[in-house]
Structure 1
Amino acid sequence: MGAPSEIRYCNLPQMPERSFDMPVGPLRMEAILMMAKKWVNGTKLKFSFFEGDSFFTPATDSNGNQTKLFWEGSAEEKEAVRNAFRTWKDLGIGLEFEETGDHLEALIRIGFAKGEGSWSYVGRDAWEIPKGERTMNFGWDIVDDQDTVLHEIGHAMGFPHEHQNPKAGIVWDEDAVYSALAGPPNYWSRDKTFHNIIRKISPDEVQGSSWDPNSIMHYPFGANMILSPEKYKTGLSPEAGLSNRDITWVKQFYPKMDKRTFTRLKAFHSEIISIDAGNQANMEFIPEESRYYTIRTFGDMDTVMVLSEVRNDENVYLSGDDDSGEDRNSVIREKLFKGKKYLINIRLFYKASAGDTCIMVY
């Protein structure tokens, strides 16, 4: 990400804070917020690059002339991104990554608009972005900057900035931070600096019980920006690459999937969901007749449920429902066809008691 004296920082897009329409207890809220932006494990995150001169951001140069910041990147930059996706995947995680030439079918849509900063939407926030827009951008040459690429892909998988972890105990020299970020190479406003550095994220969104200053999701900082802890007054430079805790946490949220453990569902037969909060149940269903089916969870719990069709060994998303923080259960109604294979993935955010929770297709 550069030496501390010339650091260019990731600039996260601001999204509305999660709100609830009904009272939600602190333990339930903690579980929901930690999992809210994570994908259902086994999701294939298709990524694409914008090509050609049709995709750009209008801009004004230093002379007041109108110009364009094109989203297309070089062949070397695209290969650097592919390499970073492989680095994450080679850890043996359950998420899949696949490049597609059609940005309309991609969940991660990547641009290389120079001067716009590097950023990514966090996890499932990408669902909310129109298909013609980027969900990730690299605003400087990243050919020899693999850490920036790994960092932005980490955001795309649902991981927040580690230096905003309230458990870090960082006390900023706020004037020094605002001053440093207002100048080159970032030229950030106070609001942007606050959002990306000074602001503490909710404790409920934090991965784990401790701070990892070597996380790929942590910025480096120059001297005099941090007042405490004392050892970082002279600067903080995370080690290159993924830290041990990065690897532990991505494997915890997205463990490698074993299809032999999938449960086979039968119509009108309830199947108990016996998993702990944060974990996932995976089911298969092969209809014996073509018709509309209802897939519903039962019990006092918060879940996100995703329905996919298996086509040529690829899981094609059909529908999903997220009941977290609501007084209801996840439900999907979809027309399914005789003899085809469907997958139902349920990520459990929170369960109110040790009582039975289950799923039924009918």
Structure 2
Amino acid sequence: MRLKHLTPALALIVLAACNKSTQNEVAPESAANIVDSTNTETDYFADGYIPQACIDMTDTTDDSRLQTDAVYEGNHKWANGKTLKIFFINGGDYLQGKVMKYARKWAEHANLHFVKTDNKAASDLRVGFKVNNNKGSWSYVGTDANNHKGEQTMNFGWFDGKTEEKEFSRTVTHEFGHAIGLVHEQSSPVAEIKWNKEKVYAYYKKYYGWGKKKVDQNVLYKYPKSDVRNTKFDPKSIMQYPVDSALTRDGMSIGYNYYLSAKDKDFIGRIYPD
């Protein structure tokens, strides 16, 4: 039976991720192949600014279908009250501390707990920073992390010692939203975004090299109402993409969201109640 997922702030999912660019869009490496490229943790922006965008990552190799969360079966929600053990593949105390700080923002509203562990074999999530020069930020979502034991399950590709506090908040909170089961808000069946599709295709082709199929999958796709539980569209959700007014037919825009919205807090509390 197909899982009826929830859309962010209003959604439970299987597998989504965020990536800064496609030039390093690679699958997570096994622990044996990991190269620590954090160095002094100050060189991540050496390549200059690259627009940030989120991509879906999947466990399937079947490229013949649109690979979105809604095609998967099974419940990817963690057990209520679960303590998620986080193992850091690389990175110093400063970056690791920032990740733990903002991961725990979810625990303020959900019956979940996050602890750091030095035991990789016993960990639930394995976090790295720019592993093998992967400059994207992404995360396997929910219990899909269990399908990748011993492997990296989350990456932060542009963090360094100069990263702004609000960027730590925006990115870490978003990625851990995925890690506990949330999908992108713009994929809600009631998302109120009137995309200018041709401009969207041109934009993502220019900045990311994405073809139409990938744009459809990561930007324009909306879940059928029969496959999700959702409330009113929440443009303030931490799980929402920024939207440029040049890419919409009515000039609508959505800026970067840096903190949990009221609906994020309420919803996650209902998914993981005390």
TM-score under structure 2 length normalisation: 0.68
Secondary structure of the 1:167 match is coil
User: Structure 1: 5+ residue runs without aligned partners?
Assistant: 18-29, 51-71, 257-362
| Residues 264-279 of structure 1: pairs in structure 2 closer than 5 A | none
Equivalent residue for 2:200?
177
Judge conservation of contact 1:107–1:127 (CA < 8 Å) in 2.
yes
Structure with more of its chain in helix, by fraction:
2
TM-score under structure 1 length normalisation: 0.53
Equivalent residue in structure 1 for 2:178, among 141, 155, 170: 155
Judge conservation of contact 2:191–2:233 (CA < 8 Å) in 1.
yes
Q: Post-superposition shift, 1:36?
A: 2.1
Cα distance in 2 for partners of 1:168, 1:87 equals 25
1:164 paired with 2:187, answer yes
Cα pair distance change 1:45/1:220, threshold 3 Å:
same
Equivalent residue for 1:214?
236
Equivalent residue in structure 2 for 1:224, among 246, 271, 274: 246
Cα pair distance change 1:104/1:178, threshold 3 Å:
farther
Identity %: 33
Cα pair distance change 1:207/1:240, threshold 3 Å:
farther
1:126 paired with 2:163, answer no
Which protein shows a greater Rg?
Answer: 1
Q: Post-superposition shift, 1:90?
A: 2.3
Q: Which amino acid aligns with 1:149?
A: V
Cα pair distance change 1:206/1:133, threshold 3 Å:
same
Q: Post-superposition shift, 1:204?
A: 4.6
Cα pair distance change 1:205/1:82, threshold 3 Å:
farther
Cα distance in 2 for partners of 1:118, 1:183 equals 20
Per-residue CA shift, 1:182-211, capped at 9, x if unaligned?
334x44444433222112234355453211
Cα distance in 2 for partners of 1:136, 1:125 equals 12
Structure with more of its chain in strand, by fraction:
1
Q: Which amino acid aligns with 1:168?
A: A
Judge conservation of contact 2:76–2:142 (CA < 8 Å) in 1.
yes
Equivalent residue for 1:137?
155
Equivalent residue for 2:79?
40
User: Structure 2: 5+ residue runs without aligned partners?
Assistant: 1-17, 21-48, 62-69
Q: Post-superposition shift, 1:219?
A: 0.6
Cα distance in 1 for partners of 2:209, 2:201 equals 10
Q: Which has the higher contact order (CA 8 A, sep 6+)?
A: 2
Cα pair distance change 1:218/1:199, threshold 3 Å:
same
Number of residue-to-residue matches in the alignment: 212
Equivalent residue in structure 2 for 1:11, among 55, 71, 77: 55
Cα pair distance change 1:49/1:235, threshold 3 Å:
same
Q: Post-superposition shift, 1:153?
A: 0.1
Q: Which amino acid aligns with 1:49?
A: F
